[in-house]
Amino acid sequence: MILGSDHSTQAAPPTALANLPGRTRACVLGHLTQPTSTTELAQRLEVTSGTVSRHLGVLHRAGLVTRARHGHLVLYLRSPLGDQLLT
């Protein structure tokens, strides 16, 4: 929110940004210091792969993680923007 601005003229935040906040997403982002699969992240965080996958999708759409296929795996890594968010 910008102080002194008219709320009726403010644009809604992009969906990816609006869905971003949350403890689990912050934990996922914090664990992506090296390329990691959804399954590995799920094991580390002790949550389901589906939960991790959903959070990774939000983080990817927000530009905070990158993904690359490596054989049959998709590996995720924190992007430079994600690094900045955590510092």
pLDDT at residue number 86 = 81
pLDDT at residue number 37 = 97
Nearby residues of 51 by Cβ (< 8 Å), 6 or more positions away: 24, 42
Q: Lowest mean pLDDT: which of 16-20, 32-36, 44-48?
A: 16-20
Taking CA atoms, 75 is separated from 34, 82, 84, 86, in Å, by 9, 15, 20, 20
Q: 37: which DSSP letter? A: E
Residue 69 has pLDDT above 50, yes or no: yes
pLDDT at residue number 51 = 94
Cβ 10 vs Cβ 2: under 8 Å: yes
Instruction: Report residue 74 as tokens.
Output: 């998709």
pTM reported for the whole predicted model: 0.75
> Which neighbouring-strand residues pair with 65?
78
